Structure 1
C-alpha cells in the first residue's frame, strides 16, 4: 500500500479579528497564510507561498477548523458552513463561527483577552520548487492540499523534516538530470567521432 503523504504545519502570527451578532454568536476571522512573504524555517531553508496554491483544494476538500491542531477540539467545518475559506490576493482568509461548547467559549475568551496570536494551517505540498542559488535554499510552494486550519496561541513550523526530505529528493533528481544530460553529450560526442573517422577512411 502506498504511503500517505505527511502533513506539515505553518502558523501566521497576525491579529485575529472577532465580532458578535445580536444573538451573541461570535465569528473569528484572519489569515492562516499569506502570499509572497518569505519565512525562515528554523534556519534550514526559506519558504514562500504563491497565489493560487489553495485554489484546487478549496474547490474539493472538506476542511475542519481546530483549536491548536487538536482534532478532538473541532471549532468549525467547511461543509457545515461554520468554517469559510477563500483565497484572495493576500492569502488564505479564514472565518469560523465559534460553537457554544467549552472549546468554543475558551477560544472566544482567549481571543477577547488577546491571548490568541494567530491562525495556522496543516497541508500537504503537491507542487513545489527549490532554488539553491542563494545562501539558504528557497522553497516555493505552488500548490497544496489543505488538511485543516487552527486557531493557535503561538507560531508553529512543524514538518521541517518532511520539507528537508523533499529538498533531498529534488537534489537527487537534479543530479540524475545532470548525469543524463552528461551521458547524452558523451553519446553525441562518440557518434560525431565515429562519423568523422568513417569519413576520414573514405
Structure 2
C-alpha cells in the first residue's frame, strides 16, 4: 500500500436497525486486522479530519447504489472512544429495501469503508501498520467477510471451517489487489 491517493477498503460488523435507519460502527479503534502480508490497526482520532467532508454510504462499494451521504444529512458520522459510528436513513429504493430486509434477518456481512492515506497518516513497525489519519471517502454496507477478525460474524465464519477462512482471505486479498 502506498500512502497518497490509492483507495483502500476495510470491513467491520456492527449494525442494528430502527425503522428505516441502520446504525452501528463502520470501523473500530485498536482492532488488529490480518491483511495477509501485514497487520493493521486504526488509531483513535484517525477519522477526525475526514468527518468535515462529504462522505457517501453505498451498498458493496458500488457507486451505482448510493444509500446516503453526509452532505444531504441522510448519513451521520461521528467518532467516539470505540470507533467511527454511523447512522444512516435508508432510502425507499430497491437497494435500501434489500439492506433493511437483510439487516432484519441478520444476514448482512458487515460494514466497510473506503479511504486514502494522506502523507504522514500511517506509521509502520516492521509488517505492522497503524492508521493515524485517513481520508474517508465512503462507508459501505457489505455482504462479505470483515477484514477485522474481532467482529462477531468474522468469528462465526472462522469456526465454520478452514475453507470458509481461505475464501475470506482470498476475497480480502483480491479486494486489496484491485485497489493497489
**TM superposition score normalised by structure 1:** 0.69
Flag as ranges the 4+ runs of structure 1 deviating above 6 A: none
Q: Which residue of 2 aligns with 1:185?
A: none
Measure how far apart 1:15 and its partner are: 3.7
Give RMSD over aligned pairs.
1.6
Q: Which residue of 1 aligns with 2:176?
A: 159
> Contact 2:24/2:87 (CA < 8 Å) preserved in 1?
yes
CA distance in 2, matches of 1:8, 1:93: 19
Among residues 38, 46, 49, which one is paired with 2:39 in the alignment? 46
Measure how far apart 1:159 and its partner are: 2.8
Q: Which residue of 2 aligns with 1:72?
A: 64
> Contact 1:8/1:122 (CA < 8 Å) preserved in 2?
yes
Map 1:128-147; keep pairs closer than 5 Å.
128-132=122-126, 137-147=127-137
Of Structure 1 and Structure 2, the greater helix share is in 1
| Greater relative contact order (Cα < 8 A, sep 6+) | 2
Q: Which residue of 2 aligns with 1:118?
A: 110
> Contact 1:7/1:159 (CA < 8 Å) preserved in 2?
no
Number of positions where the alignment pairs a residue of Structure 1 with one of Structure 2: 148
Deviations 1:142-173 (A, max 9, x none): 0000010011111354336867xxxxxxxxxx
CA distance in 2, matches of 1:16, 1:115: 11
Measure how far apart 1:46 and its partner are: 0.5
SS of structure 1 residue aligned to 2:46: coil
Q: Which residue of 1 aligns with 2:17?
A: 18
**TM superposition score normalised by structure 2:** 0.78
> Contact 1:41/1:160 (CA < 8 Å) preserved in 2?
no
